[in-house]
Structure 1
């Protein structure tokens, strides 16, 4: 099977990966948006968990990862609920990891174990400890295929970063001591810049924030009045949204209407009267760089990188406050 991706190009993948890609569990991710309900406010914010999952799998392959690690990459987000991380706001889950909390149960009730066993793979060994896969996952602020893929995908789509620039960055990646290392300070600072765009200019875009706030409140109302259940969240975006819209709650439908036709709003400070306050999970990167025979964090050798990282941390800790005009 040939798999094509806008960032990485065309790759022939092993049969087990082709079968998994065709499974209902992976195909389901075509209707689970990365930015949650934000696409309802801005239709161009339409990246899906499917695109990201394929991308992570291919990046792992491109960087020399085993078939097992490619499988883990393809399935790392398979248990995401409708509208992705909106459920974490519903549950006030600051770790943003509800999909990880339900991953084991989701997989064991799916077709995935049987599919993997047909090809001689142990699903428990591969899928229940992503930290064993050093390309796929690394604790922040290090780089990993998951973090790299969504960053590159979003800055290309939403900030018009050219593909050639992205391809040149990918050429600067080296694997050293099971870690992703960049060949130059310049490329490390470049990636810090791109990640800053994703965190501050995209995640904290007021339209993104408002869509999450209103959808989370609609879901909370639906759960509290019994018109939706946590199981309903395992639907994909379109049928789950339809289920919300079909409720008898005027409050839910009012909130959904606000997402489709948002009122005028402005960003304010915590000292003002505000209608929405959000502080998202703290996210930043500090890539490793190769200097002669030494590997160091870019912040240790670049004042520019350190200032950029400090800004992301400061703005993230401050959060965002929005008031309706």
Structure 2
């Protein structure tokens, strides 16, 4: 099977990866949007967990990761609910990791363990603890394939960053002691700038924030009134929309109308009469570079990088206040 990707090109993959991609569990992710319900207000925000999962798998492969780590990369987001991280806002889970808490249970009820066993793999060894895969996952502020892929994918699609520029960045990556390292300060600074576009300019876009707020309110109301269960979220975005459309609740139907109508959300301050305040998980990156044969965070050798990271952290921690007009 040949897999095509906008960032990494066409790649021929092994049979086990093909079978996993064709599984119902991975196919479901074609209708689970990375930006959650934001695409309801802006259809151009249409990146899916499927695209990202394929991308993470291919990036791990490109960087020399084992087949086992590619499998883990492909399946790392398999337990995301409909509308991705909106469930974290609905449940006030600031760590944004609800999907990680339910991953093991979901896998045991899926076709994945049996499929992997056919190829000689124990799903628990591969999939239960992603931290064992150092290319796939690293704690922030280090780089990892998960963090890199969604950043590159979103700046290319939503901020018109050329694929040629992205390929230059990828060429600057090297793997040292199992960690993703950049050869030059130039590309470390470049990635910090791209990451800011995603976590500040995109994640905190007013329409993005509004969509999350209203969908989270829908889920809270429906859960509180026992109109849905958390299990009802383990479907596609389209299927969940059908579920909530059928709910006989004026409040929920009013919120759905907000998600489907043109809306104007204006930034304001805490002192103003705001309608929405939202603070997302604080996200920063501080890429490793090689200096005098040692791995070191770029912020320790570049004042420019340090300033960019401090500003990113500050802006991320402020959150956003919005007035609906």
User: What residue in structure 2 maps to residue 113 of structure 1?
Assistant: 113
* Residues 1:267 and 2:267 are matched in the alignment: yes
User: What residue in structure 2 maps to residue 210 of structure 1?
Assistant: 210
> What aligned pairs does 1:229-240 form with structure 2 within 5 A after superposition?
229-240=229-240
Q: Deviations over 1:162-206 (max 9, x none)?
A: 000000000000000111000100000000000000011000001
User: What residue in structure 2 maps to residue 226 of structure 1?
Assistant: 226
User: What residue in structure 1 maps to residue 32 of structure 2?
Assistant: 32
> Quick check: 2:135–2:178 contact (8 Å CA) kept in 1?
yes
Please, which moves more after superposition, 236-245 or 218-227? 218-227
Partner SS state of residue 208, structure 1: helix
User: What residue in structure 2 maps to residue 17 of structure 1?
Assistant: 17
Please, which moves more after superposition, 218-227 or 99-108? 218-227
Where in structure 2 are there 5+ consecutive unaligned residues? none
Q: Deviations over 1:129-168 (max 9, x none)?
A: 1000000000000000000000000000000000000000
Deviation at residue 262 of structure 1 after TM alignment: 4.2
Q: Quote the Cα distance in structure 2 between the aligned partners of 1:9 and 1:134.
A: 23
User: What residue in structure 2 maps to residue 178 of structure 1?
Assistant: 178
> Quick check: 2:207–2:265 contact (8 Å CA) kept in 1?
no
Q: Quote the Cα distance in structure 2 between the aligned partners of 1:261 and 1:53.
A: 31
Q: Quote the Cα distance in structure 2 between the aligned partners of 1:157 and 1:168.
A: 17
Partner SS state of residue 37, structure 2: helix
Deviation at residue 265 of structure 1 after TM alignment: 2.8
Deviation at residue 306 of structure 1 after TM alignment: 1.1
Q: Quote the Cα distance in structure 1 between the aligned partners of 2:122 and 2:315.
A: 43
User: What residue in structure 2 maps to residue 84 of structure 1?
Assistant: 84
Where in structure 1 are there 5+ consecutive unaligned residues? none
Normalised to the residue count of structure 2, the TM-score between the two structures is 0.99
> What aligned pairs does 1:245-324 form with structure 2 within 5 A after superposition?
245-324=245-324
Partner SS state of residue 289, structure 2: strand
Q: Quote the Cα distance in structure 2 between the aligned partners of 1:120 and 1:304.
A: 49
Q: Quote the Cα distance in structure 1 between the aligned partners of 2:243 and 2:129.
A: 34
User: What residue in structure 1 maps to residue 128 of structure 2?
Assistant: 128
CA RMSD, 1 decimal: 0.8
Q: Quote the Cα distance in structure 2 between the aligned partners of 1:158 and 1:245.
A: 29
> Quick check: 2:37–2:215 contact (8 Å CA) kept in 1?
yes
Q: Quote the Cα distance in structure 2 between the aligned partners of 1:248 and 1:283.
A: 38
User: What residue in structure 2 maps to residue 104 of structure 1?
Assistant: 104
Q: Quote the Cα distance in structure 1 between the aligned partners of 2:280 and 2:208.
A: 11
User: What residue in structure 2 maps to residue 169 of structure 1?
Assistant: 169
User: What residue in structure 2 maps to residue 5 of structure 1?
Assistant: 5
Normalised to the residue count of structure 1, the TM-score between the two structures is 0.99
